[in-house]
Each structure stands twice: as C-alpha cells, then as structure tokens.
Amino acid sequence: MANSLVVEDFSLRHTLECGQFFRWNRASEDVYEVQRKDVSFRVWQEGGRLYFTDVSAGFVKQFFSLDHDLPAITRAIDRDPWMHAAIRRYWGLRILRQDPWECTAAFVTSIASNIPRITRNIEDMTGAFGIGRQFPLPEELGSEQRLRALRLGFRAKYLVDAARLAGAGLLEDIESMSERDGRDALMVIPGVAEKVADCVLLYAYGRLGAFPVDTWIRKVMRQIYFEGRRASDERIRHFASHYFGRYAGYAQQYLYVYSREHWDEIAAKSVPKSDTAVIRDLASKVMTTRVLARAQRP
C-alpha cells in the first residue's frame, strides 16, 4: 500500500542519481529502492506526485529536503549562463539529508574511486557486516584486514579510524557547531580532509554553503571561472562562496552533474561571455579581501 505526497520543484531521478548518494537501486524502470540507516523503502514519482511505501510522509519530506525553497536557492546561484543551463537541465535536484555516519563512510570510500565501485564497496560492507540491509553501524564495521578482503584497499585503515571516532560520538555534536568547527571536527578523522568533510557537511548536515572540490569541480571551475588557469582548492572554495553565496553547495552539485554530461561543451566555450566582467570583478574583490585580511593580521 503506497502513500503519496504532492511535490513541487522536485525530481526524484536527479536527486538520487546526481552522485551525492549511493544507497539506491532500481526496482524497475521508475521505482527506486532506497536505504537510509535502518529504513528501507520504495519510491517513485509521477509528475507532481511522489509515491512511497514503508515510510511516513514526514520522513520523505525530511530525507528529500522538500522543505528547501528550491526556486529561491536556484535564483540565488543562477549567476551566469553555465549555472543557468545546469539548473535547467537538472531542475528538481535537491541536496539530501543523509545519515552522518553513512555519509562519512561513503565519502571515505569514495577517495580516488568512481561511482560504480563506491556503490559496490558499500554494498559489500553492508552484506558482510550489516544487519539486514542496514549499512554496518560503527561498532559493526569489520577490521582493516576484513575490509581489505572486501577490496577497499588503502581506504580500509581510514574506515576503521572513522568507525572508532564515530562510535566515540564524534559525529553527534557537529549538528550544533558552526560550519568551521564542524569541518575541523570531521577533519580529525584520518582519511577525512577538506573534500570529504565538505561532502559530509553538505550531504548530511545540511550546510548548504559547503563546496566540495573534487577533480571534476576543480577542472570545471578552472575552465569557467579562472580563464583555464590553475587555482588552488582554497581559492576555488573562496571564490565559490563569494560568487554563489550561502547556497554554494547547491551550485557545486548542479555543476558536478552538468559538467560530467557536458564537459566537451564547457571546454569548447570556456568562460560565459555575458558575465566575464562580473566574474572578473568578483575575483578581484576576493583578492582584495584576502590582501586586507593578510594586512590586518598581527
């Protein structure tokens, strides 16, 4: 027996398949089977109606962030033709509210990997150590040796450390911390540095300003906003937070999926013509801010 919900500005497909989340599969052409912690449910969308089994409407609203004001968010980040195209192409994509431990484990697993393999690694860990279909709790995750046997490679050691610290409660206080402090707390975990920490902040803690810089984002940001020149991850993040504002994380996600589908086009056209001046202006403001900050330092 399925329940349903009227949804606006939401695409189940784009939300699940954009690379932010790995614990789903297709039960059929339109039906997704989704696992989040101890919850396993089916979900499908028919136009403006979302159908689901085994979970409450409240859970669905929360998990899919149906409370986010997507029109306002996309209006805020819609600063140039590339972002505009990305938003149009993936209209309805929302940042999920994942479980912090699962999200941390998933993005530690993602290090120097690829989506099919990450998905398989997570399934393997669930099958080997989880109870039922639940991803193993921190206390249930196997030893480094057993994780290596599951082909986690050098990530095995990181996962063991992450489980130990998560089991000790590291992830529980982050909700109430500032973004900066939460990031620092996450980075205490060996195997969690800037990129993975930003993924967890964005995908699990709803810190929509977090801007994970991975190889794709680095490539596309340099191409579009830095005239093809190198820029450190720090500069990219700094630029993004000024340029896109408090919803920069959403911009990151749209850019991520869009660039993977349209890279050739981006590489060919480079800087968005109509907004080159705006970008240059902002980039110089960012530089000025940095210089001033440096000058004021004792």
Dihedral-angle region of residue 218 (phi above 0 means left; psi in -120 to 50 means alpha; beta otherwise): alpha
Describe the crossing of helices 70-77 and 248-269 by its angle, rounded to 10 degrees.
50
By CB under 7 A, name the binding residues for DNA. 18-20, 110-117, 148, 151, 153-154, 157, 187, 189-197, 199, 212, 214-217, 232, 234, 252-253, 256
Local structure of residue 41 (DSSP, 8 states): E
Instruction: Give kind and range of the element (H or E) at residue 239.
Output: helix 233-244
Cβ pair 109, 153 in contact under 8 A: no
Give residues with Cβ within 8 angstroms of 226, minimum separation 6.
236, 239, 283
Least distance from DNA to the Cβ atom of residue 137, Å: 22
Q: State the nearest-atom distance from the C-beta of 4 to DNA, in Å.
A: 28
Least distance to DNA from the beta carbon of 135, Å? 17
Q: Is the distance from CB of 241 to CB of 252 less than 8 angstroms? A: no
> What's the CA gap between 203 and 295, in Å, rounded?
35
Nearer to DNA among residue 55 and residue 73 (C-beta) = 73
Q: Using only C-alpha atoms, what is the Rg of the chain?
A: 20
Closer to DNA by CB, 202 or 271: give it.
202
Q: Which is nearer to DNA, 55 or 200 (CB)?
A: 200
Give the shortest CB-216-to-DNA separation in angstroms.
Answer: 6
Cβ-contact 198, 211 below 8 angstroms: yes
Nearest residue (CB) to DNA, 13 versus 157: 157
